Structure 1
């Protein structure tokens, strides 16, 4: 064989390798980033409340493990980005629940007493990594690398201690933690590697009864000693010296230690930490992949998936893997049992949840379209509370009612699920339960956190006079006794119940609740053009200021809440002397609010600021988050498109620990709202009418693909295409549904869930 031939073949061989290498690099450069990696967990973490931040957690997980940098109080606690000190890793960050704080430490043998009161450690974001389902950081004081992950009901810790160091773990079971104290914390050793224990969460202003959590712990190394501190009552376990990483699994339960152990056996029987991290990432990625967006900037996509991530956390499972659950609705605590499927697994999970107050414009729509299985579970969970305690809750915690906020906010949620065909069984029983809440001694008669009376809701006045007086003549009972807002909420919620009555052919009830739904008219002062408080004698509130906060209006002012008539925008416009006048009025409010970027500052606390509270539109809290879509209802869709895109740009586009939702992110409501605004689909009445419809807005992406759930919907995907979309091209000039012209800017639920394509022709100028 000649040298020339060999030389040529060598050249060809290396040339082919070069081509292959370039091809691989080219393919890798176009490889899609996993959606879970687009989540920015630190969003708004400087404005955190206890349940806001989540890291080592699964969607709706019972365990929501994360570091705590602040621990005292419901607000401003949990993980606060700008606080540089770790005070423990706790397992429960939920609505009015907290518990099981642990801390790996390194101490000298001669000084193991002060550690119970002096164990905090500095840390740096430079050595921190956070993704959905995983959190890692270095405790500077001890030079311990702490890694956290979890399944639904079991946490998994991996600690890397310095070489040749004594390995200790502090169990801070008796402490202030978030919204309450943890007391009666006990820990006992079961064998060389296993422990079990429990603690009690003391009652709060919102959660009226104590609540107990049980836990089971298994370590990968033998326990050398366990010590309880006489002063604090807390525990320190020592694992001796070795260079092996410490692995610790903690299963929790609200019913028993046995069920905590069973939860661990069912969900985490192995010791592969990295596999759990990967599984968690895959679960989050699957959930986020239900909506896939194309176009927009990388920052816009990251913010979108962070919003969607928020929509799937906060509200927490409280039932065990075997369906046991805590029932605190009666005089004594009991362990309930959820119904089981043929395979022995529960038919649904039971939940701890903040109120559905304002959810008609957020999770009702998002969950109903994209996550119908979650909506169905929540309906059956709410009904389980009714079966146990006699009322459908509006925000249950600790297996009991909290009476958070006002009204019967669960009614629109449940009616929406029924109207969309998600819930199809036992409709009569559900209707009876919902109706009970709208009548005397039901939940509508209770104001916020009113546990022992039925006066603060003013329901008897509402039924007799057609409005809730302000002030309430009976006195003060609960929070949020603001008569105008209560009247507006009740009227809308009555309308939604009337729609279900109509569906089930209860004609008399339908007419009755439809008549009540007009009660909003009784608190509109036509002389001044605002909703206005009335006293019990029917006299208008004197010295009225439409921009004064919380004088007859719940977490809002009259300018914001005047538009809270989602079931009858036409009727509201008539009171305002016609649609043109209504458009002019609302548009002026938006022009004014723009100067403050449409929110009362950048946190919930700022709403009380003497200047910020006077804003006429506030997208930082629920009462007026629907307002940009009102223009659609008034025949001016171009203003819906303009103002919604402006609100997104000014208020909901950044990625920063110091801002994000600029107010009150109530367990996914604001995240859900952002998702809906950004894909351009909205439901003014929360999807509660006989044939639910979506109003079409201006999506910020060129393409949105919604994966439809095959158990509930016949279509595979619904695609929204806006190829000419840009920061300037925000107006819809023409639109087509499945290649056929669509004359109106609304689309039925069935048209979406049957699958298809909505095509939007975008322009820089509104359609004339």
Structure 2
């Protein structure tokens, strides 16, 4: 009996120590599941073999065409290529290994290969997939600006690597392409991307390709005149023209073929410079290891403990998404292509004393709605990223005269509407993130907010319309204005402009610009002019100032008249800068909270979202930007327990899925939904978007036992800010009490300056609401 007990003890101790060893050695990247949400993906949603914000965003394309339902789709059964750029309105350099006869001239459908998830590995910085049609094991990794491939062909007679660089890819076609053989181990070329309805001008991506072993043959293809099929060309050194592409072949390859692809949007010389600067060797496994280390360092800036395995997987996958899109556009030496003018101009980012660029220039989708996600999270844990984004937007002001809105390929896209940069810039400045050209940023924000600025451009509209002039003279933007741009809802414009004016006022106040502060603060109250007391909703007005007839808070389809991808039921709460006044307009705390509560109850059966493309139909829509703050508004009506309840449900039911079929519910918009999910998990938020001259964070119930935020010493005096929970369990979703640095806290908010100094926030949780907590200081 004693021997049996001893044996059992030994077994239990062995299991315990093995578990401890695994927990110690497990990396944060091991929690990231890149496949979450990929069943219905978007071109820039998935890029597995990439670095944080990498210019190269290398991954398999299971469907190669379109902005939506393209790129990597989990339920697809075939890989069509491995392309290097999955970016906002940008794509390029598809590569595909094959065996046997070259069929590259016949297109992706002729050269695709079946694959199985059973033989697939994807994690940050690495992707492995077996191409069943060819028996090829393909592995992908990258540096920032260089894609790195390893192809194991097995025992075959002929192996090929295809470069269909002139084929339509992602958002659109290629105007032309070129590829040439420099020597038996190197190719180079370019692809000229056709303009899109968003990126109005062509954009060229240059590439230099190097192989670890000499290839046996080079050839290519291109389209001749009006011929439907491209012509396969052999015994050539270069191929250029419409739908041009090229290939190399190996006869009986005895070792894996390694391929390095350096890219640049500036020139071939710059593509070579990027390749040589970032990847001078052929050690594939070393690059995978370095990429893993970089990802772990970035993910490690927020460390969590406790919670379930599923919650950790979703948390670090969400955090990965916040550091994935909005890709770097400038080269290793800081050069980039400015396309804001008639001709492309090569610009140089300022250099530090060591000759390194002071910041990276980025491509980016819009910052529409980022006041409730990226602006908050980046300012907490990634202030240098936030600074680089601001510097990018300001570069456009210096080059083209306007701070950018959704920059792509060195050009304006005028995506969405309004002046989305000002909330980001004001939040950065007022949180002490000022390592950008502050004077230029301020001047650009002023210009954007006045007639002739970026606000006068409707969605994707280059010409512009005097929205701001109407807004200033009439106190609102009316309906019925002429123009061809998208997103022209005047009621939504008025609300966005009011918030952006408040952000401008806060920026001015932080810089001691008293006259500007007063001017923009006064304008920030213009939302009052479209609040209809008779209905209790924000209501569009016509050109003559009358209320729009046949009004309803919801409508059918994509967008209700007067609004943008939404309706009045949601936009009526878009006064993030003055919730006290909005609550008063709506009848006070009880009336406001009851109305909001009913909307959440109506939305709950649908998991708080509506199908993408039906945004006007919902009472709530956590699949799209305009309503992402609504659960946090109960705080302002002295009912913080309702905020805690609904945030918990949204986090679990809307964003908690870890399968390919959920988790983001539609339009992730380059990290916006991921970062909101991270903030909900941490129990931090800011309805004002961080732009206040004295920024705060609202507190909700964290889902982890402990959260450690590593503070960036270049911007903040503290080393870390720690959030601890007591009695954290699935049913404990209500805050019972809180202490900030050991002092009892009975407000639902605390100051950013406190976080920046470092410290500890301790939150005691319970199963039932404590209706006395969080209402101690609700004066705003």
Q: TM-score range by the shorter chain?
A: over 0.9
The SS at the match of 2:601 is helix
Which residue is equivalent to 2:503? 496
- Match for residue 719 of structure 2 among 716, 727, 730: 716
- Match for residue 538 of structure 1 among 537, 545, 549: 545
Q: Does 1:70 align with 2:73?
A: no
Question: CA offset at residue 313 of structure 1?
Answer: 1.1
**Separation in 2 of the partners of 1:116 and 1:540?**
54
1:344–1:26 Cα change, 3 Å: same
**Separation in 1 of the partners of 2:105 and 2:405?**
46
Report 1:278-427 matches (<5 A).
278-423=289-434, 426-427=437-438
CA contact (8 A) 1:599 1:663 kept: no
CA contact (8 A) 1:107 1:115 kept: no
Q: Does 1:95 align with 2:88?
A: yes
**Separation in 1 of the partners of 2:245 and 2:191?**
11
Q: For each residue in 1:234-280, what CA deviation from the matched residue of structure 2 results, as whole angstroms up to 9, or x when unmatched?
A: 21211222221000000000001111111111111110101111111
The SS at the match of 1:198 is strand
Q: For each residue in 1:174-223, what CA deviation from the matched residue of structure 2 results, as whole angstroms up to 9, or x when unmatched?
A: 11111011232111111120111101010000000000000011101112
Q: Does 1:737 align with 2:740?
A: yes
Deviates more, 1:551-560 or 1:226-235: 226-235
- Match for residue 458 of structure 1 among 467, 480, 486: 467
Q: Does 1:754 align with 2:757?
A: yes
The SS at the match of 1:484 is helix
Question: CA offset at residue 72 of structure 1?
Answer: 1.8
1:579–1:113 Cα change, 3 Å: closer
**Separation in 2 of the partners of 1:156 and 1:43?**
24
Deviates more, 1:498-507 or 1:66-75: 498-507
Deviates more, 1:656-665 or 1:26-35: 26-35
1:48–1:21 Cα change, 3 Å: closer
**Separation in 1 of the partners of 2:483 and 2:576?**
29
Which residue is equivalent to 1:124? 116
- Match for residue 488 of structure 2 among 459, 481, 491: 481
The SS at the match of 2:608 is coil
Deviates more, 1:59-68 or 1:20-29: 20-29
The SS at the match of 1:118 is helix
1:663–1:651 Cα change, 3 Å: same
Question: CA offset at residue 23 of structure 1?
Answer: 8.3
Q: For each residue in 1:503-560, what CA deviation from the matched residue of structure 2 results, as whole angstroms up to 9, or x when unmatched?
A: 2222222111111101111111110111111111111111111111432110111111
Which residue is equivalent to 1:83? 76
1:516–1:151 Cα change, 3 Å: same
Q: Does 1:703 align with 2:706?
A: yes
**Separation in 1 of the partners of 2:767 and 2:277?**
56
Question: CA offset at residue 763 of structure 1?
Answer: 1.1
Q: Does 1:200 align with 2:210?
A: no
**Separation in 1 of the partners of 2:340 and 2:311?**
44
Q: For each residue in 1:418-447, what CA deviation from the matched residue of structure 2 results, as whole angstroms up to 9, or x when unmatched?
A: 000011664333211110000011001111
Q: Does 1:447 align with 2:450?
A: no
Q: Does 1:47 align with 2:56?
A: no
**Separation in 1 of the partners of 2:170 and 2:436?**
39
Q: For each residue in 1:437-486, what CA deviation from the matched residue of structure 2 results, as whole angstroms up to 9, or x when unmatched?
A: 000110011111011x121x6222111111111122xx132100011111
CA contact (8 A) 1:428 1:504 kept: no
Which residue is equivalent to 1:11? none
Question: CA offset at residue 21 of structure 1?
Answer: 7.2
Question: CA offset at residue 728 of structure 1?
Answer: 1.2
Q: Does 1:187 align with 2:179?
A: yes
1:733–1:114 Cα change, 3 Å: closer
CA contact (8 A) 1:99 1:177 kept: yes
**Separation in 1 of the partners of 2:570 and 2:15?**
58
- Match for residue 222 of structure 1 among 214, 222, 227: 214
Question: CA offset at residue 577 of structure 1?
Answer: 1.4
Which residue is equivalent to 2:234? none
1:165–1:112 Cα change, 3 Å: farther
CA contact (8 A) 2:82 2:95 kept: yes
Q: For each residue in 1:627-679, what CA deviation from the matched residue of structure 2 results, as whole angstroms up to 9, or x when unmatched?
A: 01111122111111011001111111111111221121111111111111110
Which residue is equivalent to 1:9? none
Mark the runs of 5 or more structure 2 residues left unpaired by the alignment: 1-6, 223-229, 231-242, 772-780
The SS at the match of 2:455 is helix
**Separation in 1 of the partners of 2:735 and 2:603?**
24
Which residue is equivalent to 1:514? 521
CA contact (8 A) 1:41 1:306 kept: yes
Deviates more, 1:210-219 or 1:626-635: 626-635
Q: For each residue in 1:62-116, what CA deviation from the matched residue of structure 2 results, as whole angstroms up to 9, or x when unmatched?
A: 000011111221111111111111111100000000000110010148x886578
Which residue is equivalent to 1:577? 587
- Match for residue 476 of structure 2 among 443, 467, 474: 467
**Separation in 1 of the partners of 2:62 and 2:387?**
36
The SS at the match of 1:37 is helix
CA contact (8 A) 1:596 1:615 kept: no
CA contact (8 A) 2:609 2:620 kept: yes
**Separation in 1 of the partners of 2:434 and 2:450?**
24
1:30–1:63 Cα change, 3 Å: closer
- Match for residue 695 of structure 2 among 692, 697, 700: 692
The SS at the match of 1:237 is strand
Which residue is equivalent to 1:37? 30
Q: Does 1:176 align with 2:144?
A: no
Show structure 1 runs of 4+ deviating over 6 A. Answer: 17-23
Which residue is equivalent to 1:8? none
1:36–1:113 Cα change, 3 Å: closer
The SS at the match of 1:630 is helix
Question: CA offset at residue 29 of structure 1?
Answer: 4.6
Which residue is equivalent to 1:136? 128
**Separation in 2 of the partners of 1:91 and 1:27?**
39
- TM-score, with normalisation over the residues of structure 1? 0.94
**Separation in 2 of the partners of 1:308 and 1:76?**
23
CA contact (8 A) 2:105 2:245 kept: no
1:87–1:425 Cα change, 3 Å: closer
The SS at the match of 2:631 is helix
CA contact (8 A) 2:150 2:256 kept: yes
Question: CA offset at residue 30 of structure 1?
Answer: 4.0
**Separation in 1 of the partners of 2:37 and 2:11?**
46
Question: CA offset at residue 162 of structure 1?
Answer: 2.4
Report 1:590-609 matches (<5 A).
590-601=600-611, 604-605=612-613, 607=614
Which residue is equivalent to 1:556? 566
CA contact (8 A) 1:600 1:662 kept: no
- Match for residue 530 of structure 2 among 499, 515, 523: 523
Q: For each residue in 1:576-627, what CA deviation from the matched residue of structure 2 results, as whole angstroms up to 9, or x when unmatched?
A: 11121111111111111101110013xx34x26xxxx422011000000000
How many residues align? The count is 743
CA contact (8 A) 1:692 1:748 kept: yes
1:626–1:325 Cα change, 3 Å: same
Which residue is equivalent to 1:587? 597
CA contact (8 A) 1:116 1:229 kept: no
CA contact (8 A) 1:99 1:182 kept: no
CA contact (8 A) 2:39 2:73 kept: yes
Mark the runs of 5 or more structure 1 residues left unpaired by the alignment: 1-13
The SS at the match of 2:621 is coil
CA contact (8 A) 2:99 2:156 kept: no
Which residue is equivalent to 2:144? 152
Which residue is equivalent to 2:3? none
The SS at the match of 2:697 is strand
